[in-house]
């Protein structure tokens, strides 16, 4: 079970950092739990990230590298960081 207070604390901790544009927390299947972005943006980002995680896990498994823990994408606007935990996915847009 995911603790709501823990999720809120995670959002607060990251949204106060300089340059952070958005924070999304999803369950392990990619469904958004909490976000500081608009719901349609949150759902779109979560869907794309869930797909990316699936492909990333395939690559890691094919290369026999253990398990996927973190993805960092540098973009024209900044970066997207994705951390995978046992029961949460943390997405930070910076």
Go through the domains of the chain in sequence order and give each one's CATH number: 4-93 (3.30.450.30)
Global pTM value: 0.87
Counting residues of the chain whose pLDDT is more than 90, the rounded percentage is 71
For the CA atoms of 57, 43, 18, 74, the dihedral, rounded to the nearest 10 degrees, stands at 40
Closest by alpha carbon to 5, among 25, 22, 21?
Answer: 25
Q: Tens digit of pLDDT for each residue in 19-54? A: 899 999 999 899 999 999 999 999 999 999 999 999
35 by Cβ neighbours in 10 Å (0-12 / 13-18 / 19+) ranks as buried
DSSP state letters, 13-43: HHHTSTT--EEEEEETTS-EEEESS-HHHHH
DSSP code for 80 = E
């Amino acid at each position: 079970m995911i603790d709501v207070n823990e999720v809120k604390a995670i959002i607060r901790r990251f949204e106060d950092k300089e340059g952070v544009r958005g924070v999304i927390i999803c369950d392990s299947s990619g469904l958004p739990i909490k976000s500081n972005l608009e719901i349609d943006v949150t759902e779109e980002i979560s869907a794309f990230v869930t797909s990316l995680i699936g492909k990333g896990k395939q690559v890691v498994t094919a290369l026999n590298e253990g398990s996927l823990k973190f993805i960092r994408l540098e973009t024209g606007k900044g970066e997207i960081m994705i951390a995978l935990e046992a029961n949460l996915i943390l997405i930070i847009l910076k």
